[in-house]
């Protein structure tokens, strides 16, 4: 079993994911379960996964300015990402 560091939450990222109608609970469900991980720029990770309610999300995590994973964004998967996730 993998050990997961806690996600960093603050007012900015909480407000930002709420704009996409995503909750902190949904992001944490995905983060602490199975997902596809893709590396992106600026030491960021793109996570593609499914919540327990069946919602398919893309979550962007940054390690650029801190050691703990900081949630930069979370939104519904695009059609292109769904193909990667094999839906």
State the pLDDT at residue 1.
39
As a whole number of angstroms, the longest Cα–Cα distance in the chain is 34
State the pLDDT at residue 64.
85
State the pLDDT at residue 87.
60
State the pLDDT at residue 55.
95
Query: Which residue ranges of the chain lie beneath pLDDT 70?
Result: 1-4, 87
Q: How many CB atoms lie within 10 A of CB 23?
A: 14
Q: How far apart are CA 69 and CA 54, in angstroms?
A: 24
> Residues for the chain: how many in total?
87
pTM over 0.85: yes
């Amino acid at each position: 079993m993998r050990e997961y560091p806690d996600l960093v939450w603050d007012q900015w990222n909480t407000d930002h994911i709420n704009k996409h109608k995503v909750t902190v609970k949904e992001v944490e469900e995905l983060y602490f379960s199975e997902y596809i991980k893709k590396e992106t720029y600026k030491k960021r990770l793109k996570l593609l996964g499914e919540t327990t309610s069946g919602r398919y999300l893309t979550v962007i995590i940054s390690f650029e300015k801190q050691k703990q994973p900081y949630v930069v964004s979370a939104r519904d998967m695009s059609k292109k990402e769904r193909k990667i996730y094999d839906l």
